[in-house]
Amino acid sequence: MGVIKRSEVRAAQARTAELFARAGIVMTPEEVAGIEVATFGLGDLEKEGLELVTYVNNDRYCAKELVLFPYQTCPEHLHPPVGDDPGKTETFRCRSGKVLLYVEGEPTERVQARLPEGSEAYYTVFHEVELLPGRQYTIPPGTKHWFQAGADGAIVSEFSSTSRDEYDIFTDPRIERIPVIVED
């Protein structure tokens, strides 16, 4: 089981806040203190992880900011149907940096992303969508996808139907969506 120390969470939150400030995205002190640091239980935040702020998530819609450090990857997953809901539809809009988004579809001949070492087997979709600031892409429900920042990291605004992260299905069976934080 991958754990993260409280000091590591605080350092990732501070680094995320700095990226927001550099991009001109204003965060309240409460939002900065509440930045979620998703390690996915894999123990290497720099390689596979995600930092995020959820502005709103209710039974109709959701809005978040997703932050990726340089070359950091959010692992492959999909948003399945939950009850009568067909699953989350999400639109990613790049605000800063470059995001390489991979979805189901015709594989791109030469993908730009660097597959995280030791996790290569868990990345199975390779239709590449490059998002630069101002570009966006909508991911339909039930679509496998993963994404990685470029050399300068990235900030992505996510607009979606209701987010139910606890139901996400990851390709990598080692993943734990809710982090285990230990005091240090």
Chain segment 29-74, per-residue pLDDT in tens: 999 999 999 999 998 999 999 999 999 999 999 999 999 999 999 9
pTM confidence score: 0.95
User: Counting beta carbons within 10 angstroms of the beta carbon of residue 157, is it exposed (0 to 12), middle (13 to 18) or buried (19 or more)?
Assistant: middle
Q: How many CB atoms lie within 10 A of CB 112?
A: 12
Name the average pLDDT for the chain: 95
Are the C-beta atoms of 179 and 35 separated by less than 8 Å? no
- Above 80 in pLDDT, residue 180? no
| R_g over Cα of the chain | 15
Alpha helices (runs of H) in 73-177, residue ranges in sequence order: none
User: What confidence score (pLDDT) does residue 1 get?
Assistant: 55
What homologous superfamily is domain 3-182 in, according to CATH? Jelly Rolls (2.60.120.10)
Chain centroid to CA 120: 18
The Cα 135–Cα 141 span in angstroms is 20
Q: Which of 147, 170, 148 has its CA nearest to residue 77?
A: 170
- Above 90 in pLDDT, residue 19? yes
| Residue that has been written with the tokens 């959701």 in this structure | 62
- Above 90 in pLDDT, residue 177? no
Domain spans in the chain, listed from the N-terminal domain onward: 3-182
User: Counting beta carbons within 10 angstroms of the beta carbon of residue 71, is it exposed (0 to 12), middle (13 to 18) or buried (19 or more)?
Assistant: middle
Reported as a single tens digit per residue, the pLDDT across 98-147 is 999 999 999 999 999 999 999 999 999 999 999 999 999 999 999 999 99
The Cα 29–Cα 45 span in angstroms is 23
Q: Which of 153, 159, 155 has its CA nearest to residue 139?
A: 159
Q: What are phi and psi of 146, to 5 degrees?
A: -155, 165
